[in-house]
Chain A
Amino acid sequence: MPLETPLVCAGTDGGSRIVTAADHAALALGISPGLKLAQAQARVPGLVIVPADPPADEAALDRLALWVLRRYSPLVGRDPPDGLLIDITGAAHRLGGEDGLCTDLCTRLRQAGITGQTAIADSIGAAHACARFAARTIADLPIAALRLDPDLVIKLRRLGFNTVADLDATPRAPLARRFGPSPGLRLDQLLGRSPEPMQPIAPAEIIRIRHDFAEPIGTPDALAHATHALTEAICAALEPAGLGARRLDLVFHRVDASLAAIRIGTARPIREAGRLAKLLLDRLPQLDPGFGVEAMTLAAPLAEPLAWRQANSLRQDRGHDVSALIDTLANRLGPTRLYRATPVESDIPERSVRRIPALAPATGATWPGYPRPTRLLARPEPVDTIALLPDQPPVQFTWRGKARRISRADGPERVFGEWWCDAAETSAVRDYFVVEDGGGARFWLFRSGDGEDATTGNLRWYLHGFFG
């Protein structure tokens, strides 16, 4: 079915069949949810109709929630009928901050064919509203964003309340007497004045252990002790299934009903309580226990079969296992900031290095032994030079206001553009020279263009790196 064909879901509302959801093409044709199905069919002749299936929608939302839980954050809640709440406190740094997390989430949803709207806010109410309604400020949000009963929204609108600011400016007591407590409560939750505990999902397929304490605990020693007990319990629970943890979520239930979580990841499945506890304890100082923690939950959202290794007492195999160190550092810095470099078959210097995970199997590959600078400038910097065309090295160059006479030079090393990467590079050429100034400092200069044909480059000179 082509994407442009308008499609709607049909459900029943009382006695009549109505549109419950519409895709982009249908929305563009003016068919919005709530419209009578007969009217919609009359407006758009070729309308494709599928029956609405709310249980299936819910199941799909649960599947999505599980994926979000595994990938992004230990605390994920459902926001029915079509939303997910993600507590990203302490989870965003792994994906390059809040923006990075949003971009990553949206990109992945789009690749899966899901149109999503994301918003990051300090309260659940504000995030819910900003993801669904466009407004310049919170005060400008329509009252429909307040998660109120639809009938109540209509009644409030009739009385002239259109925005959150209108409602907030009204005395609370008469409002509560006429409409009950919900408008005031929702308003406070939106503005962050009253707390709103989140109900995180707890899928049955995830192994989890919960410890409730007789008294709230809060001292680092007590938390550490409880963490040790939990990791031992979860390792015992993972053992019958033959699994090792790749990810562990330690959730702290504070006495004020708020939650905090620590997530750790490991490069390989692990079922050693000591090592897992060490990784969790490494993150513990960043946790604020608030007024006390009354329960702790440890879950393993990602567990993989544990590969057994033959113990060999004859071979002294100590030393070269760095996975414990890698796990510690990856949890501290985020997995993208711990890597190995590996060659890419490309002559363009900035493309010749690729990052691979620190524990990826050894590739054995290395770069061909051409001279390459120790420090490479992220972006080549233009320099003024005195040089003979077409292929003489420069005699002198000026970089950042300092002129340097060149006493020795080697080159050119010609690098051609890669037309398969970018059409603009089809005829581009760089001529690289290694040059040494009077003091012995060595630089990597290149001329854009082959010195004869203007289509190969603009004949300007650039500094690209420093040699040792």
Chain B
Amino acid sequence: MRARIARIQQAGRPTHAVLPFGVPALDLHLPQGGLALGAVHQVTDTPQSAAAPLFIGGILARLEGSVLWCARGRDLFAPALAGVGLHPDRVIYAEPDDDPGVLLCLEEGLRQPGLAAVVGEVARLPMTASRRLQLAAEASGVPAFILRRWRLAADAAEFAQPSAAVTSWRIAAAPSAPLPVQGIGRARWRVELVRSRGGATAVWEMEACDAEGRLALSTDLADRSVAAPAERAA
């Protein structure tokens, strides 16, 4: 039944490739077995955590070709993206004046050929804009990642507003595993799939992206059969 509905919904639209995370727990949970390319994905941070750019960077590192990164602020530190395997030669940064400017740049990047993906940092994502981006992404097969940045609680509430994004993620920092010696280990994230079109939401505790952009399930959870502690229908 679901497959039939999906087929009807997909009628007339080109089908696009899927990029698996390489983590079975995540991939099996997503309806297409991975992150759909040719779609809009929304990712947000919690305050004072900067995991979302790395989460996106890790996905981009596993794609091929140049990516466009549009942001209003200049605080993104390029070596960190290189640290998750996204080579600096592949990233083109654009600095528009405001959020609508960022969204216009993204749309242009989706409509013109040549890019592997586009990323935009915005505080707000109006429904119309996300719909436009989703249509452009579907037409070109290039994924768009919207990195939602917010400082005020009002903007955070906005994240829950509906948008045309196919998936919405919230990445929060989690305490990392203690090491037997002094020092600091691989960072851990609480990866929350807040919304997924045609799928269920879920939360995972994960090890952060490694130098090649791969996530991994936290070691103390990996042995458990049920990966998602909290699950409810979308």
Which of B75, B92, B108, B114 meets A340, CB within 8 Å?
B92
Contact in complex: A325, B114 (CB < 8 Å): yes
Contact in complex: A440, B173 (CB < 8 Å): yes
Interface string of A56-83 (1 = CB under 8 A from B): 0000000000000000000000000000
Provide the residues of chain B in CB contact with A372, threshold 8 Å.
77, 79-80, 83
Contact in complex: A321, B114 (CB < 8 Å): yes
Expressed in whole angstroms, the Cα–Cα distance for A322 and B142 within the complex equals 13
Expressed in whole angstroms, the Cα–Cα distance for A435 and B183 within the complex equals 9
Interface string of B25-67 (1 = CB under 8 A from A): 0000000000000000000000011111111000000000110
Provide the residues of chain A in CB contact with B174, threshold 8 Å.
439-440
Does B154 interact with chain A (Cβ within 8 Å)? no
Residue of B nearest to A338 (CB): B94
Contact in complex: B83, A343 (CB < 8 Å): no
Q: Which residues of A contact B (CB under 8 A)?
A: 318-326, 328-329, 332-333, 337-343, 349, 352-353, 358, 362-367, 369, 371-378, 407-410, 434-436, 438-443, 465-468
8 contacting pairs across A/B (C-beta < 8 A): A324-B113, A333-B101, A341-B88, A367-B82, A371-B83, A435-B184, A468-B80, A468-B209
CB distance from A22 to the nearest CB of B (A): 46
Does B211 interact with chain A (Cβ within 8 Å)? yes
Contact in complex: B79, A378 (CB < 8 Å): no
CB distance from A132 to the nearest CB of B (A): 35
Given contacts A319-B113, A369-B211, A337 and B95 within 8 Å (CB-CB): yes
CB distance from A198 to the nearest CB of B (A): 29
Contact in complex: B48, A436 (CB < 8 Å): no
Interface string of B150-177 (1 = CB under 8 A from A): 0000000000000000000001111110
Contact in complex: B75, A436 (CB < 8 Å): no
Interface of A is mostly: mixed
Does B112 interact with chain A (Cβ within 8 Å)? yes
Interface residues on B, range: 35 or more
Does B125 interact with chain A (Cβ within 8 Å)? no
Contact in complex: B80, A363 (CB < 8 Å): no
Given contacts A338-B93, A340-B89, A440-B176, A325 and B115 within 8 Å (CB-CB): yes
Given contacts A319-B114, A343-B88, A337 and B96 within 8 Å (CB-CB): yes
Does B136 interact with chain A (Cβ within 8 Å)? no
Q: Within B179-232, which residues are at the interface with A (CB < 8 Å)?
A: 179, 182-185, 187-189, 208-209, 211
Provide the residues of chain A in CB contact with B87, threshold 8 Å.
366
Q: Which residues of B contact A (CB under 8 A)?
A: 48-55, 65-66, 68, 74-83, 87-89, 91-96, 101, 104-105, 108-109, 112-115, 171-176, 178-179, 182-185, 187-189, 208-209, 211
Contact in complex: B77, A322 (CB < 8 Å): no
Provide the residues of chain A in CB contact with B78, threshold 8 Å.
341, 353, 367
CB distance from A95 to the nearest CB of B (A): 15
Expressed in whole angstroms, the Cα–Cα distance for A376 and B79 within the complex equals 10
Contact in complex: B75, A377 (CB < 8 Å): yes
Contact in complex: A325, B109 (CB < 8 Å): yes
Given contacts A318-B113, A329-B108, A441-B48, A340 and B93 within 8 Å (CB-CB): yes
CB distance from A365 to the nearest CB of B (A): 8
Expressed in whole angstroms, the Cα–Cα distance for A369 and B79 within the complex equals 8
Contact in complex: B187, A467 (CB < 8 Å): yes
CB distance from A87 to the nearest CB of B (A): 23
Residue of B nearest to A340 (CB): B92
Expressed in whole angstroms, the Cα–Cα distance for A311 and B67 within the complex equals 26
Contact in complex: B91, A376 (CB < 8 Å): no
